[in-house]
Amino acid sequence: MGKPFEVDARTIFLTLTGSHAYGTARAGSDVDVRGCCVAPLRVRLSFRTGFEQFAWMPESAAEPSPLGPVFADALLRARSHPSAGPSLLAADAPPDVVIYDLAKLVGLCVQANPNMLELLFVDEREILHTTPIWERLRARRHSFLSQKVRHTFAGYAQGQLRRIQGHRDWLLHPPDHEPTRAEFGLPEQSLMSADERNRIEESIAKIIRGWSVDEAIELGGAERDVLRERLREFWSAALLARPSVELGELAPLEVGREQTLDEQLAGVAGASLGLGPAVLDTLRRERRYRGARKHWEQYQRWQRERNPKRAALEAEHGYDTKHGMHLIRLLRMGLEILRDGEVRVRRDDAEELLAIRKGELGYEQLLAEAEALEQAMREALKTTGLPRQADEEALDELLFELLREAG
The mean pLDDT of the chain is: 85
* Secondary structure (H, E, C), 246-282: CCCCCCCCCCCHHHHHHHHHHHHHHHHCCCCHHHHHH
Which residue(s) pair with 99 in the sheet? 35, 54
Q: Are residues 241 and 280 in the same domain?
A: yes
Q: Confirm if 108 and 102 have CB atoms less than 8 A apart.
A: no
CB neighbours of 152 closer than 8 A, spacing ≥ 6? 111, 112, 113, 114, 220, 222, 223, 334
Please classify residue 161 by burial: count the beta carbons closer than 10 Å to its beta carbon, then call 0-12 exposed, 13-18 middle and 19+ buried: buried
My answer on whether 184 and 269 are in the same domain is yes
Q: Quick check: is 2 in a domain? A: no
Q: What residue numbers bound the domain in which 88 lies?
A: 8-145+390-406
Q: Quick one: which H or E segment has residue 129?
A: strand 127-130
pLDDT value for 257: 45
Shared domain check, 164 and 131: no
Please indicate, yes or no, if residue 124 is contained in any of the structural domains.
yes
User: 119 and 14 in one domain?
Assistant: yes
Residues 195 and 278 in one domain: yes
Residue 187 falls inside a structural domain: yes
pLDDT tens readout for residues 107-130 = 999 999 999 999 999 999 999 999
Residue 49 has pLDDT above 90, yes or no: no
pLDDT tens per residue across span 188-243: 887 777 777 777 778 877 777 776 665 545 555 556 666 666 666 666 666 555 55
Residues 271 and 186 in one domain: yes
CATH number at residue 88: 3.30.460
72 or 310: whose pLDDT is higher? 72
Q: Are 268 and 376 in the same domain?
A: no
- Which of 302-306, 310-314, 375-379 comes out lowest in average pLDDT? 310-314
Note the pLDDT of residue 238: 63
Q: Are 311 and 303 in contact, with CB atoms under 8 Å apart?
A: no
Q: Are residues 101 and 21 in the same domain?
A: yes
**Region at 53 (left for phi over 0; alpha for psi -120 to 50; beta for the rest):** beta
Give the pairing of strands 53-56 and 96-101.
antiparallel
Number of domains observed in the structure of the chain: 3
195 and 163 within one domain: no
Mean pLDDT for the stretch of residues 180-188? 90
Q: Does one domain contain both 35 and 141? A: yes
pLDDT value of residue 248: 42
Residue 63 lies in a domain: yes
In this structure, is residue 285 part of a structural domain? Answer: yes
Tens of pLDDT along 115-170? 999 999 999 999 999 999 999 999 999 999 999 999 999 999 999 999 999 889 98
Amino acid 39: pLDDT? 92
Same domain, 69 and 121: yes
Residues 6+ apart with CB under 8 A from 258: 232
Q: Is the pTM of this model over 0.75?
A: yes
Q: Are residues 43 and 124 in the same domain?
A: yes
Reply yes or no on whether the pLDDT at 277 is more than 90.
no
Residue 20 lies in a domain: yes
Are the CB atoms for 155 and 111 separated by under 8 Å? Answer: no
- Rounded mean pLDDT, 177-185: 92
Q: Kindly state whether residue 244 falls inside one of the protein's structural domains.
A: yes
Answer whether residue 98 shows pLDDT above 90.
yes
Mean pLDDT calculated for residue range 9-37: 92
Query: Minimum mean pLDDT among 36-45, 119-128, 140-149, 273-282: which range?
Result: 273-282
Mean pLDDT, to the nearest integer, of 382-392? 95
Whether residue 1 lies inside any domain: the answer is: no
**Residues facing 53 on adjacent strands:** 100
End position of a domain, from candidates 303, 333, 362:
303
If you write DSSP's letter for every residue of 161-186 in order, what string do you get? HHHHHHHHHHHHS---S---SGGGT-
